[in-house]
Amino acid sequence: MPSVHRATDVRLGRIVRLLMSHATVVVSGTKLAEDIGTSRSEVWRLIQQLRALGVDVAGHPATGYQLRVVPDLLLPEMLAPSLKGTVFGGARAGSMSAFPLGGRFPQGLKPAFLQTEGGTAEAVPYPKPRHEAVPYPKPRHEDGTAEAVAYPKPSHEAGAKIHHYYKIASTNSEAMRCAEEGAPEGSVFLAEEQLAGRGRGAHNWHSARSAGIYCSVILRPAMPPSDALIFSLAAGLAIRVAVMEIAPQLRVDLKWPNDLLLGGKKFCGVLTEMNAEATRVRHLVVGIGINVNQAKFPAELREIATSLKIETGTEWSRVELCAALLKSLDREYRSFVEEAGARDAILRRFEGSSSSVRGRKVSIEENGGLTGVSEGLDERGFLRVRTAEGLRAVVSGTVRVIGNL
């Protein structure tokens, strides 16, 4: 019987959040039980689950509990306070304080989850389904690698639109499935690990556990399908802003259409998928993979992939980067749907943030292949390339820079 991975029990996030907000004191099992509305023995069971997931909690039922290190897990409870008022926030956000960490981990506070290399973290049981229309749990694929979420959660809860998984096949596949079933705009799907992470052009996305950010969001913009490419370029801009907000020393280079590079190597990619009629998008799923704390990559990726850790020599808080990312994406999205001149501004800003989109000798292997000089983006977001045969507009493909002018 294949294992089925489920959305994370939301009570784990609540316990972590409570322990974080009482970081200097031991919190009694009774207090935790009262706050999350369960029994002390259930709290003990949940604490054991957190430990199995690598969260370093000291104590036992008789003494109470205390966090030893701040966990860097992308739990809804960790992200929700930063997302109030954004398309990714719940309808009525809770009263939790702002996320307390800086971008880097404070000295001596290593994220607990990163210390469990080769550990045994597994999906955890989710409380009973709260929505009758969507039977739960329900395996989706033959191989059992995707799971149903208890969806929708009550919209008044902070983080209600954020769905977290310890393990999943692909957050994009899950987001597309939930979008089909009516998940609201702004739903976010985050995984600690993907077993079948997908990239553009049928590539895989290497998704090592808790080292990167694997995030997919559902958007429902009123726009024609032809605008999806421009919004996807805008997503790249949003990610660039977020990364440089957290790590201002980095110079992120955008490579058309959807790669983000550091020192010529890729550390982030975007996979935008959609369901559309001829003239109208029903929903977009923007899938973002960011290499954050990977120390190394498999041999086949070593020459082309990098991470924030490799580039800076230090570990970064995925929670803070993910919050910055979603806030930046929210700003970009609002301006895209609300401002008349947004499309043109996106194209100009993309050109200004990319070293290869104008004035470089490039080759594109796909679609018959072509070689020429890049001449910026046209009004649809296509890459203009001056070839020996004339000016061509490239719709998709992988750009390789082969020289300067």
Burial code (b: 16+ CB inside 10 Å, e: under 16) for 24-42 equals: eeebbbebbbeebebeeee
Q: Does 205 participate in binding ligand BTN (rule CB under 6 A)?
A: yes
> Please, which of residues 241-260 interact with ligand BTN by CB under 6 A?
258-259
Q: Rank residues 74 and 362 by Cβ distance to ligand BTN and give the closer one.
A: 74
Kindly state whether residue 210 participates in binding ligand BTN, applying the rule CB under 6 A: no
By the rule CB under 6 A, 216 interacts with ligand BTN: yes
Q: Starting at the earlier edge strand, list the strands of the sheet with 370-377.
A: 390-394, 383-387, 370-377, 358-364, 399-404
Q: Does 54 bind ligand BTN (CB under 6 A)?
A: no
User: What mask, x for binding ligand BTN by CB under 6 A, covers residues 285 to 324?
Assistant: --xxx-----------------------------------
Smallest separation (angstroms) from ligand BTN to the CB of 197:
4
Q: C-beta of 221: minimal distance to ligand BTN in Å?
A: 19
Task: Report the alpha-carbon angle 236-303-395, nearest 5.
Answer: 40
Query: Out of 82, 86, 170, 353, which residue is the one contacting ligand BTN (CB under 6 A)?
Result: 170
Interface pick for ligand BTN out of 13, 199, 372, 381 (rule CB under 6 A): 199
What is the residue whose two structure tokens read 């033959």?
Answer: 142
Number of chain residues interacting with ligand BTN (CB under 6 A)? 21
Cis bond leading into 225, ω under 30°? no
Q: Determine if 267 is a binding residue for ligand BTN (CB under 6 A).
A: no
Token pair in block for residue 334: 């609002």
Distance CA 60, CA 186 (A): 38
271: β partners? 287
Q: In the β-sheet with 259-262, what is the strand arrangement from edge to edge?
A: 162-165, 188-191, 212-219, 281-291, 265-276, 259-262, 253-255
Q: Which residues, numbered 118-147, are part of the site for ligand BTN (CB under 6 A)?
A: none
Q: Which is nearer to ligand BTN, 49 or 306 (CB)?
A: 306
86, 172, 187, 317: residue in contact with ligand BTN (rule CB under 6 A): 172
342 touches 355 (CB < 8 A):
no
CB of 281 to ligand BTN, least distance (A): 19
Residues forming contacts to ligand BTN in the complex (CB under 6 A) are 170-172, 194, 197-200, 203, 205, 214-216, 258-259, 269-271, 287-289
